[in-house]
């Protein structure tokens, strides 16, 4: 492959546009190359600013010293020094760090708002399950009347409600592919619940992102703020 770089080789004779089309990263690791060099340099020289690092890299890659030795006069050196001091004093690094800090604050705020919204949704979902009227007969599960028919969404809610009460062996709703499978699973859950309804009177579910302790919640609990006290703060 290296022979292609030799005079007269494919790469040597390629046009500028062809080389541009053939461009690829210098390494197969994004943490290597210029980024890796920057990270090492900043670790060893933490007070170095970004524009100083960029200037040093360009200086080393562009044969700047040879150019200065060949063409610079004393006024040129003085001009460069003044220009560098002016740029250092302009506060661009301070502004860059302030923008990064503002971005991190906005990002943290967005994440916090997202987490709050997520928890609120979990509480709302739990409220629905706690207050949901459970089916009491097998006939209700298979009722096909328009007003009484349990849709897939309603079947999911019923399964979640029984699962929340601790009825065992109820799989995740996604495991029941067809509506008939969901109805059969709900029938099994109902029969287990009816064997010992007192055992499943308290809520100790896993339907939410955090684990709830067993509380004898009821619809009246919501009016007293019990859910907010025990639900939102329990992790």
In tens digits, what is the pLDDT along the chain, a chain of 235 residues?
567 778 888 888 888 888 888 877 767 766 677 888 888 888 889 888 898 999 888 888 888 999 999 999 999 999 999 998 998 889 888 898 899 999 999 999 999 999 999 999 999 999 999 999 999 999 999 998 888 889 999 999 999 999 999 999 999 999 999 999 999 999 999 999 999 888 887 665 444 433 343 344 444 444 433 343 334 333 3
Kindly state whether residues 52 and 155 are assigned to the same domain. Answer: no
- CA–CA gap between residue 158 and residue 165 (Å, rounded): 11
The answer to whether 202 and 165 have CB atoms below 8 angstroms apart is yes
What DSSP string describes 49-99?
-HHHHHHHHHHHHTTHHHHHHHH--HHHHHHHHHHHHHHHHTTHHHHHHHH
Residue 109 lies in a domain: no
Residue 107 lies in a domain: no
Name the residue range of residue 17's domain: 2-90
Strand partners, 215: 203
Look at residue 179 in the predicted model and tell me its pLDDT. 95
Residue 101 lies in a domain: no
Tally of domains in the chain: 2
Domain boundary among 72, 90, 108: 90
Residue ranges of alpha helices (H) inside the chain are 10-13, 16-21, 33-44, 50-61, 64-71, 74-89, 92-131, 138-142, 152-164, 179-195, 219-223, 226-230
Residue 96 lies in a domain: no
- CA–CA gap between residue 185 and residue 169 (Å, rounded): 9
Kindly state whether residues 224 and 127 are assigned to the same domain. Answer: yes
Look at residue 213 in the predicted model and tell me its pLDDT. 39
- CA–CA gap between residue 137 and residue 156 (Å, rounded): 17
- CA–CA gap between residue 205 and residue 217 (Å, rounded): 12
């Amino acid at each position: 492959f290296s022979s292609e770089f030799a005079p007269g080789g494919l790469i040597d004779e390629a046009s500028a546009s062809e080389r541009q089309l053939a461009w690829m990263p210098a390494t197969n690791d994004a943490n290597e190359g210029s980024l890796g060099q920057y990270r090492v340099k900043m670790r060893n020289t933490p007070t170095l600013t970004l524009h100083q690092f960029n200037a040093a890299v360009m200086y080393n890659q562009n044969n700047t010293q040879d150019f200065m030795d060949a063409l610079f006069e004393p006024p040129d050196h003085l001009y460069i020094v003044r220009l560098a001091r002016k740029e250092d004093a302009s506060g661009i690094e301070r502004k860059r760090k302030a923008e990064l800090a503002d971005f991190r604050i906005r990002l943290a705020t967005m994440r916090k708002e997202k987490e709050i919204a997520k928890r609120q949704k979990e509480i709302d979902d739990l409220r629905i399950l706690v207050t949901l009227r459970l089916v009491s007969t097998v006939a209700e599960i298979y009722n096909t009347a328009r007003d009484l028919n349990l849709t897939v969404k309603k079947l999911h809610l019923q399964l979640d409600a029984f699962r929340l009460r601790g009825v065992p062996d109820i799989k995740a709703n996604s495991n029941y592919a067809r509506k008939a499978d969901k109805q059969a699973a709900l029938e099994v859950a109902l029969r287990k619940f009816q064997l010992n309804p007192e055992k499943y009177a308290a809520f100790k579910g896993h339907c939410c992102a955090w684990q709830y302790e067993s509380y004898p919640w009821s619809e009246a609990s919501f009016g007293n703020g019990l859910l907010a006290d025990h639900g939102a703060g329990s992790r």
